[in-house]
Amino acid sequence: MNRIRMKPKVIVAIAAVVLFAVASICGCSSGGKDFTGIMAKVPGGSVDFGYWAIGQLSVDADLAEIYAEFRTSPQAQQLMDVGVALFIVEHAARASDPDGVVTVVGGNLNRKDIERQLSENGYRETRYRETGIWTSQEGDLVDSLAIQKDTVFMGSSDGLRSCIDVTAQEQAYSLYDHQYVKLLVDRLPQGLIVNVHKADSASVEAYADLIASGESYKKERQDRLKMTAIYMFQDSDAAGNAISEIEHRLETTGFTDVKSKQEVNFIHVTALISITDFVYNLAFWD
C-alpha cells in the first residue's frame, strides 16, 4: 500500500482549515454565548438586560411554566398578530433604560416576508440608516418594529433608532461594549435565562458599592434551576462586606444550596431554586 506523507506544516494548515469550517457550520459565537450577541445590539446606556432562550424553553415540558410567560406577553402576541410564528423564534431579550424598553427577537426570520405582512396589517414604514421602522396605526398602543437580517427590534421609534445606531457601529456603543458590563458578563455562563443589571437599576438589590450584577439560570433537575450569579463591587473590601447579605437574601427568597466565594472585587454565587418558585415573580415584559 502506498502511503502519502505530509509535512508537519501542511498538517497544521489543514487542521486549521477544518477547525474553521466546523466552527462556521456550528455558527459558534465568541465565547459560545448567545446572550452577548444580543447585548451587542442594544445601547450601552441600558441599565437592565434580560435574555430568554425561547427555542429551548418552548420544547421542554418541564419548562412550560417559564415559556408561558413569554407566550402570553404583549410582544409575543404582537408577533403573532403580524404573522410571525413563535416556533421560529430562538432568542428574545429585553433591554431598558430610563427612556423606555426595547425587545430584541432573533430566529429563523424572513425580513421580506415580515415586512410584507406588516404592510398588509396597516403598519407604515419610515426609513432610518437604510432600515425600515414600521409603526402601527394604533400608535403607542403597540410597539414599532424594525427588522435587520435575522433580528426583529420592538419598541418606541426612538428606541429602535438607538439600536440601529448601535448595529451601524457609528458613534454609539453597545451594552456589551461597556467596560464593566463586559467584565461581568464574560464571567457569566450561557443560560436559559440571563439577567444583567447596572447598580443604578431600580430592579437590582442594593448593596454598598455595587457596580453591576448578573444571573444565569440553567435546568438542573426536572423541577429545579441552577443559578450562577456574579456581583461586581468597587473593591475587595466592599465585596467581602456584602457576602453574608447576599447569601441571606437568596436563602430568604426561595433559593437553596447557596454557595459563594470571593474573587477580589467579584462575588461568585451558585444556588438552586424550584421552577415553581422561580416563575412566581417572573414576567417577560417587566
**The predicted structure's pLDDT at residue 70:** 95
Cell numbers describing residue 194: 440571563
State the DSSP H helix or E strand holding residue 160, giving kind and residue range, or none if neither. Answer: helix 157-168
Question: Looking at the predicted structure, is the pLDDT value of residue 6 above 60?
Answer: no
Could you tell me if residue 14 is inside a domain?
Answer: no
In this structure, the answer to whether residues 97 and 134 fall within a common structural domain is: yes
Does position 8 have pLDDT exceeding 50, yes or no?
Answer: no
Global confidence as pTM: 0.85
Q: Would you say residue 226 lies in a domain?
A: yes
SS3 266: strand
pLDDT per residue over 84-124, tens digit each? Answer: 999 999 999 999 987 789 999 999 999 999 999 999 999 99
Domain boundary among 168, 202, 236: 168
Domains of the chain: total: 2
What value does the mean pLDDT of the chain take? 86
Task: Count Cα atoms within 13 angstroms, Cβ side, for 76.
Answer: 21
Question: From the centroid of its chain, how far is CA 253?
Answer: 24
Q: Supply the pLDDT for residue 79.
A: 93
Query: How does pLDDT run across 61-85, given as a tens digit for each residue?
Result: 999 999 999 999 999 999 999 889 9
Does residue 216 share a domain with residue 197?
yes
Region 240-252 average pLDDT: 95
Q: Which residues contact 165 (CB under 8 A, 6 or more apart)?
A: 43, 129, 171, 172
Quote the CA–CA distance of 237 and 239 in Å, as a whole number.
5
